[in-house]
């Protein structure tokens, strides 16, 4: 009899959360899941056939065991079918030869069944890997097309979980749940047929016994699962207490508020509750083993009793071997029934995984290529905002009637108080978001009508929050232009004032810069990012100047890097430095999503409006600080 396992029983229950999020299993969902299996139908059929054959071969030795018992007892060996015929042909009427043949056949069946199992496992893993491979690729491609809004609002952990453990869970479903369903059903059916063919009375006795194995497993399993869950919750509570009270700041709080006694009581109570739960949990396991053990023994005894009664009292034609077969087959009933009962839960879990993945697939792409998107032959770099309105959320308008034009090669500086909408304006240019009203035009064409790749290829962006990945400096630079020659990289870095620094590193351009460029200073990261924009060499450039104050040397290094970057390009700069503002062809002053002033520095300062205030508070102070730092350095 298979060992009755507590955890096995526990496996078959849903957590309250799972119950709450239980997916609706509809024909549409099943059809959608099936569509992923469709390309692998021939392989799936082969796996099914292999499982059925292997279940048959694994049960047959039980029947042969009966034959062995009869051969030893000198009785008639009654094995029907082609296997029986082969055995009779090989062994004739000799009991010992029959015994040897049966042992040989049993062994051969065992080997064959296991070989088939190995082949089946490989094929099964192959199918599962390929299905998840297809799913993961499709999902990754889909996520790449998701809008910026999706990534800025979703939890990053959630996206990664769906791409990894959810998708792997789907694989587990195919390798585990599906094969278990087929293998348990076929084992169950084959065992039942074999038993009923031998003796319907004993088979019925066996079937009647099944609920006695299943019910305790199910009930006690449920109880145990509940206790495990509660004890887990208690453990979490204890960990929470430890984390809160044994950390530096936690201990400080406890000491200053003399809360030692209070905290100790809390810990003591939680610990006591956990001990009680653990004890109950292990005792439930004991009773469970006892119940199953009892029925494990009663089952065969009942079969011997009824079998004996039939043979001894009613002159039934059953042999000792037949009764042995029935006992041995009885064990074959228990496992599959129990597993099949658990499969329902596995199925619900699998459906939930599929549903979670499909949720992502069904999310609207929002920013897509228009069906008639055009790819112009060239870009001159004329950028125009025409009565642009925009809102992130329906009822909160961020930009209102923003109109301006940047002629090819000219520069516009956007200034304004924090939260005014400056970043929002620049986000609309590479279509990280689409306008909600009006239009953004590049060379006279609405950017929503341009090919998205074309548009983004022609826009260079240097962000405040420079994104560098963990690789070498060279790899980070090549991201902008994968086929750039070394000399191009060096030229770009010279222009960006970062070449000398890179050369001073022991590994030069092959230096690994750590996660998000952590091994570089803020100023170095910015200059590297500028070098990357120079390499990309686009007609349009968006520059979000860093607000973080740098020392005067870094400031001037960056300023010297920005000048060649802006030269000859249509540029839109969110400016935080007076020098950038002063060199812009036009300054747009944004306040509350509206352009409130526009003009050159000279024109705006005397107005006494928002710009004058910004100049007084922000730019002039920054300039004074820089000058103070410079003279202190000198």
Which of 299, 86, 283, 99 is closest to 204 using CA atoms?
299
Q: Which is nearer to ligand ATP, 154 or 185 (CB)?
A: 154
Q: Which is nearer to ligand ATP, 201 or 420 (CB)?
A: 420
Which of 302, 329, 1 is closest to 194 using CA atoms?
329
Select the span of 101-109, 420-428, 578-586, 615-623 touching ligand ATP (CB under 6 A): 420-428
Q: Which is nearer to ligand ATP, 459 or 546 (CB)?
A: 546
- Least Å from the CB of residue 399 to ligand ATP: 8
The radius of gyration of the chain's CA atoms, rounded to the nearest angstrom, is 38
CA atoms within 13 A on the CB side of 492: 25
Q: Which is nearer to ligand ATP, 38 or 418 (CB)?
A: 418
Select the span of 221-229, 293-301, 416-424, 516-524 touching ligand ATP (CB under 6 A): 416-424
Work out which of 101, 117, 319, 424 binds ligand ATP, going by CB under 6 A: 424
d(CA 170, CA 36): 11
Work out which of 421, 430, 460, 517 binds ligand ATP, going by CB under 6 A: 421
d(CA 535, CA 483): 11
Q: Which is nearer to ligand ATP, 140 or 151 (CB)?
A: 151
DSSP 3-state of 466 = coil
Q: Are strands 383-393 and 437-442 parallel, antiparallel or unpaired?
A: antiparallel
Give Cβ neighbours of residue 273 (< 8 Å, ≥ 6 apart): 234
Give Cβ neighbours of residue 586 (< 8 Å, ≥ 6 apart): 404, 406, 410, 411, 412, 413, 598, 599, 600
d(CA 117, CA 47): 9
Select the span of 139-147, 243-251, 421-429, 451-459 touching ligand ATP (CB under 6 A): 421-429
Q: Is 81 left (phi over 0), alpha (psi -120 to 50) or beta?
A: left
d(CA 331, CA 606): 96
Work out which of 224, 422, 536, 577 binds ligand ATP, going by CB under 6 A: 422
Number of residues engaging ligand ATP in binding (CB under 6 A): 12
- Contact code string over 387-406 relative to ligand ATP, x by CB under 6 A: -----xx----x--------
Q: Which is nearer to ligand ATP, 418 or 515 (CB)?
A: 418
- Least Å from the CB of residue 433 to ligand ATP: 8
Work out which of 43, 423, 600, 612 binds ligand ATP, going by CB under 6 A: 423
- Least Å from the CB of residue 422 to ligand ATP: 4
Which of 589, 580, 583 is closest to 614 using CA atoms?
589
Cβ distance 587 to 604 under 8 Å?
Answer: yes
d(CA 391, CA 398): 5
Q: Are strands 570-574 and 540-544 parallel, antiparallel or unpaired?
A: parallel
Contact between 431 and ligand ATP by CB under 6 A: the answer reads no
- Least Å from the CB of residue 632 to ligand ATP: 28
Cβ distance 210 to 295 under 8 Å?
Answer: no
In the chain, what is the greatest distance between 2 CA atoms, to the nearest angstrom?
121
Q: Which of residues 551-610 bind ligand ATP (CB under 6 A)?
A: none
- Least Å from the CB of residue 432 to ligand ATP: 10
- Least Å from the CB of residue 426 to ligand ATP: 8
- Least Å from the CB of residue 145 to ligand ATP: 18
- Least Å from the CB of residue 421 to ligand ATP: 4
Q: Which is nearer to ligand ATP, 206 or 416 (CB)?
A: 416
Give Cβ neighbours of residue 77 (< 8 Å, ≥ 6 apart): 67, 70, 71, 87, 95, 98, 102, 321
Q: Which is nearer to ligand ATP, 109 or 414 (CB)?
A: 414
CB 433: neighbour CB atoms within 10 A?
Answer: 19
C-alpha distances in Å from residue 563, one per residue of 477, 495, 525, 571, 601: 19, 9, 17, 11, 18
DSSP 3-state of 544 = strand
- Least Å from the CB of residue 547 to ligand ATP: 7
- Least Å from the CB of residue 398 to ligand ATP: 5
Work out which of 39, 419, 508, 568 binds ligand ATP, going by CB under 6 A: 419
Q: Which is nearer to ligand ATP, 422 or 532 (CB)?
A: 422
DSSP 3-state of 572 = strand
Work out which of 337, 383, 420, 562 binds ligand ATP, going by CB under 6 A: 420
C-alpha distances in Å from residue 253, one per residue of 248, 250, 268: 9, 5, 19
Q: Which is nearer to ligand ATP, 40 or 611 (CB)?
A: 611
What are the backbone dihedrals phi and psi of residue 590, each rounded to the nearest 5 degrees, phi first? -105, 135
- Contact code string over 124-163 relative to ligand ATP, x by CB under 6 A: ----------------------------x-----------
The helix-helix angle for 41-73 and 81-91 (nearest 10°) equals 50
- Least Å from the CB of residue 227 to ligand ATP: 45
Distance spanning both ends of the chain, measured CA to CA: 89
Q: Which of residues 438-477 bind ligand ATP (CB under 6 A)?
A: none
Q: Which is nearer to ligand ATP, 10 or 590 (CB)?
A: 590
- Least Å from the CB of residue 155 to ligand ATP: 14
- Least Å from the CB of residue 389 to ligand ATP: 13
DSSP 3-state of 441 = strand
- Least Å from the CB of residue 617 to ligand ATP: 14
Q: Which is nearer to ligand ATP, 6 or 421 (CB)?
A: 421
Work out which of 38, 144, 258, 418 binds ligand ATP, going by CB under 6 A: 418
Q: Are strands 570-574 and 411-415 parallel, antiparallel or unpaired?
A: parallel
Q: Which is nearer to ligand ATP, 424 or 497 (CB)?
A: 424
Residues that bind ligand ATP (CB under 6 A): 152, 392-393, 398, 416, 418-424
């Amino acid at each position: 009899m298979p060992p009755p396992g507590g955890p096995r029983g526990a496996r078959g229950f849903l957590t309250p959360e799972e119950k709450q999020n239980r997916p609706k299993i509809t024909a549409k969902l099943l059809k959608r899941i099936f569509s992923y299996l469709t390309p692998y139908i021939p392989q799936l059929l082969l796996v099914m056939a292999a499982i059925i054959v292997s279940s048959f071969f694994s049960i047959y030795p039980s029947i042969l065991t009966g034959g062995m018992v009869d051969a030893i007892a000198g009785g008639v060996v009654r094995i029907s079918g082609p296997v029986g015929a082969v055995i009779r042909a090989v062994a004739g009427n000799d009991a010992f030869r029959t015994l040897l043949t049966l042992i040989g056949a049993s062994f051969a069946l065992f080997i064959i069944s296991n070989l088939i199992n190995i082949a089946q496992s490989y094929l099964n893993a192959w199918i599962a890997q390929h299905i998840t491979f297809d799913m993961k690729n499709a999902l990754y491609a889909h996520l790449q097309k998701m809008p910026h809004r999706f990534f800025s609002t979703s939890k990053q952990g959630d996206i990664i979980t769906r791409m990894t453990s959810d998708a792997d869970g789907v694989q587990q479903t195919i390798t585990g749940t599906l094969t278990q369903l087929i293998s348990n059903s076929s084992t169950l059916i084959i065992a039942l047929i074999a038993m009923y063919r031998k003796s319907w009375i004993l088979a019925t006795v066996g079937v009647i016994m099944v609920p006695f194995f299943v019910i305790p497993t199910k009930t006690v399993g449920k109880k145990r699962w509940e206790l495990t869950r509660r004890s887990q919750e208690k453990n979490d509570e204890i960990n929470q207490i430890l984390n809160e009270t044994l950390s530096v700041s936690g201990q400080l709080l406890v000491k200053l508020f003399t809360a030692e006694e209070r905290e100790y009581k809390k810990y003591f109570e939680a610990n006591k509750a956990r001990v009680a739960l653990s004890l109950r949990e292990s005792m439930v396991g004991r009773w469970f083993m006892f119940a199953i053990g009892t029925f494990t023994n009663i089952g065969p005894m009942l079969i011997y009793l009824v079998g004996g009664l039939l043979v001894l009292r009613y002159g039934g034609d059953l042999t000792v071997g037949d009764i042995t077969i029935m006992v041995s087959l009885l064990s074959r009933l228990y496992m599959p029934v129990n597993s099949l009962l658990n499969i329902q839960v596995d199925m619900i879990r699998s459906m939930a995984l599929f549903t979670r993945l499909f949720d992502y697939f069904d999310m609207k792409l929002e920013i897509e290529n228009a069906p008639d998107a055009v790819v112009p032959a060239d870009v001159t770099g004329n950028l125009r905002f025409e009565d642009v309105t925009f809102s992130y959320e329906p009822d909160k308008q961020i930009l209102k009637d923003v109109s301006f034009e940047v002629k090819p090669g000219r520069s516009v500086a956007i200034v304004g108080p924090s939260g005014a909408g400056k970043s929002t304006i620049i986000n609309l240019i590479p279509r990280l978001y689409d306008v909600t009203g009006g239009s953004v035009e590049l060379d006279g064409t609405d950017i929503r009508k341009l090919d998205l790749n074309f548009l983004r290829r022609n826009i260079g962006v240097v962000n405040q929050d420079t994104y560098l990945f963990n690789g070498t400096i060279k790899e980070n630079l090549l991201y902008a232009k994968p086929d750039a020659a070394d000399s191009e990289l060096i030229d770009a870095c010279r222009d960006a004032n970062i070449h000398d620094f890179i050369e001073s590193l022991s590994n030069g351009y092959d230096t690994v810069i750590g996660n998000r460029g952590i091994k570089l200073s803020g100023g170095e990261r910015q200059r590297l990012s500028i070098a990357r924009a120079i390499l990309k060499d686009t007609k349009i450039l968006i520059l979000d100047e860093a607000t973080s104050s740098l020392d005067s040397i870094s400031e001037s290094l960056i300023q010297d890097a920005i000048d060649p970057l802006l030269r000859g390009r249509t540029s839109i700069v969110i400016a935080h430095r007076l020098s950038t503002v002063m060199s812009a062809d036009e300054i747009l002053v944004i306040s509350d999503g509206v352009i409130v002033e526009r003009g050159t520095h000279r024109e705006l300062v005397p107005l006494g409006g928002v710009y004058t205030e910004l100049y007084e508070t922000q730019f002039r102070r920054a300039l004074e600080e820089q000058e103070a730092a410079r003279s202190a350095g000198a």
